[in-house]
Structure 1
Amino acid sequence: MTALCTTLPDHLRLLLVDDHRIFLDGLALALAPLARGLQVDTAQNAAEAEQRLQQQTYDLILLDLRLPDEPGLELLQRWLARGEGTPVAILSASDSAVDAQAALAAGALGFIPKSADGKALRQAVTRVLLGETLPAPSSTSPLTPRQLEILQLLAEGLPNKAISRQLGLAEDTVKTHLKALFETFEVHTRTACVSAAHQRGWL
């Protein structure tokens, strides 16, 4: 056990929320050296996680971004809205700085990529348990200046025709940019696109 980990109490209880059983088992194994009395509970979807939280109190929840029944960030925001005090760190297969920033904006205390090795994982979890917020990787917006302009007008509620008139673009060009925006944010509606942009701090 590293010196870093000895600052943690002997008895810790963690909740791991991920829909891949093999990953959960491996994660529990990787975290085992954190504390002598470490207890790890698991949940494979949002409903199971809610059930666990009603039955137990936890020192930390490690939450996957993508669950089969509800997005991880929506679940996190619901917990925060009702005053759930357990710290949450996001674990994700994504290494995207955009996802990391969205997680921190939603109230997570850290974003840990699943590609992290056991030592890096334990160090990240230790820092969160000790009250630190892990900084997100720095990232500039991957959107073009034109896409950012369209996003801003979208947020103002303008229809395609008004956007094309205001920016001096063909309506088909506006539609092409909108399609690219929807793909970037992985959404299907204008409202969801604006909401996702707000979450990432791009509006």
Structure 2
Amino acid sequence: MSADALPVPIRVLTVDDHPMVRDGIIALIDRQSDMAVVGEAVDGAEAIARFRELDPDIVLMDVQMPGMSGLEAIEAIRRIAPDARILVLTTYPGDAQAIRAMRAGAAGYLLKNCIRRELLDAIRSVHAGRRAISPDVAHDLAVHALVDPLTEREVAVLRLVAEGHANKQIGWRLDLSTDTIKAHLKTIFAKLGVDDRTHAVTVATRRGYLDR
């Protein structure tokens, strides 16, 4: 490369089911000399196809989309390319959701309300092999780091609580005794730091354990 040659830009694929979000990201990135949007996708399945076609350096991935979710797409892309660098952009600040995204293979987790302030630096960080996490999410991760997460069974119980089912109905649906459901709820309350079912659902939703 000659001294006057321009560096190769970071090639970005943006995945979001909202056109206005994609347009905003493209407008922001297009003003940068060191990066360029090379493609768009509206859901997880299209993201996988576009990744295969374009082989981007960075994938910006929404989490909640119709059809295949962002988390499923992350797992699929990482199976295709284990070194793929994926940065989640989401409206959901929950630490549990962030942990699921990281376990699926995401290298970063940003909130959409921070895009203008954090996105460009996050893209550069992830491209350089580092992680990028919004400060609010990082704070929640630190706060809950020493607390045991909810198990899959506990989340299943709480999801039925959120749907308005009584303990007896939950036990019937999960093939568990009412006493076992009560024991699960006691553990759930302790892990979430709450005293009742309504507060448990509220906190679990905020932290990303329950689908919104």
TM-score by length of 1: 0.66
Which structure 2 residues correspond to residues 52-201 of structure 1 after superposition, within 5 A?
A: 52-135=50-133, 136-139=137-140, 140-141=143-144, 151=154, 159-163=176-180, 167=183, 177=197, 180=200, 184=205, 185-186=209-210
**In structure 1, distance between residues paired with 2:73 and 2:185:** 39
Separation (CA, whole Å) in 2 of partners of 1:168 and 1:51: 41
5+ long unaligned stretches in structure 2: 1-5, 158-173, 187-195
Contact 2:13 2:40 in 1 (8 A): yes
Q: Distance in 1 between matches of 2:121 and 2:115?
A: 10
Counterpart of 2:8 in structure 1 is: 10
2 CA distance for matches of 1:55 and 1:109? Answer: 21
Q: Which structure 1 segments of 5+ residues have no match?
A: 1-7, 171-175, 188-203
The 2-side partners of 1:107 and 1:22 are apart by 26
1:12–1:35 Cα contact (<8 Å) kept = no
CA distance in 1, matches of 2:110, 2:118: 9
**Could you tell me which amino acid in structure 2 is paired with residue 101 of structure 1?**
I
Aligned residues: 169
Distance 1:102 1:37, change over 3 A: closer
Deviation of 1:181 after TM superposition, in Å, equals: 5.6
2:169 counterpart residue number: none
Partner SS state of residue 95, structure 1: coil
Question: Structure 1 vs Structure 2: percent identity of aligned residues?
Answer: 23
The CA distance in 1 between the partners of 2:34 and 2:74, in whole Å, is 28
What is the Cα-based RMSD across aligned positions, in Å?
Answer: 3.8
The one-letter code matched in structure 1 to 2:9 is H
TM-score (norm 2): 0.64
TM-superposed CA distance for 1:28, in Å, is 0.8
How far did 1:29 drift? 0.9
Q: Give the SS at the match of 2:114.
A: coil
1:168 & 1:120 partners in 2: Cα distance?
A: 39
CA contact (8 A) 2:15 2:42 kept: yes
More displaced 10-residue stretch of structure 1: 54-63 or 128-137: 128-137
